[in-house]
Amino acid sequence: MAVLAACGRKDDGTMRLVDRDAPAPVSSAEEPPVAINPVSPVRYPNALLDQGIEGQVLLRLYVDSAGRIVPDSTRIEESSGYPALDSAALVGSPDLRFSPALHQGRPVAAPFIQPVQFRGPRARPRSPTP
C-alpha cells in the first residue's frame, strides 16, 4: 500500500510529499492474448473491396482475465489511412474473442495491439505443368 506523508515545512511555506512505500511496478503479460475466432467478425467494406483498396488497422484493445474485451476500451492505434477500413475494424472488434493474456502462467487483464488486415482475394500462383 502506498502512503504519502507530508514532511516538514521549508522556510518558504511549501510542503514536500514523500512516497514511503512505492508500489511495485506493474509487470506486463508474458504471453499476450490470442485471437480464437474461427472466422473474423470484421467485415471488409464492399465498396473498398471492389476497388481493390487494402490496408491494415492497428487496434489497441484491453481484455480482462477471462479474455473478454473491456467495453469502450478499443482505440485505433494506427490508421489504415482509409476511414471506412478503420470504422469496419472498430465495428467488428466487440465480436473478437481471445484467450486471456498470461503472467507467470495465470490469466491476467492486459492491453495489447491487434492488427486487422484488409486484403482482397488473390489468384493462386499456377503450379508449373510437367
Containing domain of residue 76, as a range?
A: 28-118
In a domain, 56, yes or no: yes
Instruction: Inform me whether the pLDDT recorded for 3 exceeds 70.
Output: no
In a domain, 99, yes or no: yes
Q: C-alpha 22: how far from its chain's center?
A: 28
Count: domains in the chain? 1
Phi, psi values for residue 101, rounded to 5° = -70, 155
Query: The whole model's pTM is what?
Result: 0.70
Instruction: Inform me whether the pLDDT recorded for 127 exceeds 70.
Output: no
In a domain, 106, yes or no: yes
In a domain, 20, yes or no: no
In a domain, 21, yes or no: no
Rounded Cα gap, residues 127 and 123, in angstroms:
12
pLDDT at 17: 44
pLDDT at 10: 44
In a domain, 42, yes or no: yes
Most confident of 9-13, 18-22, 30-34: 30-34
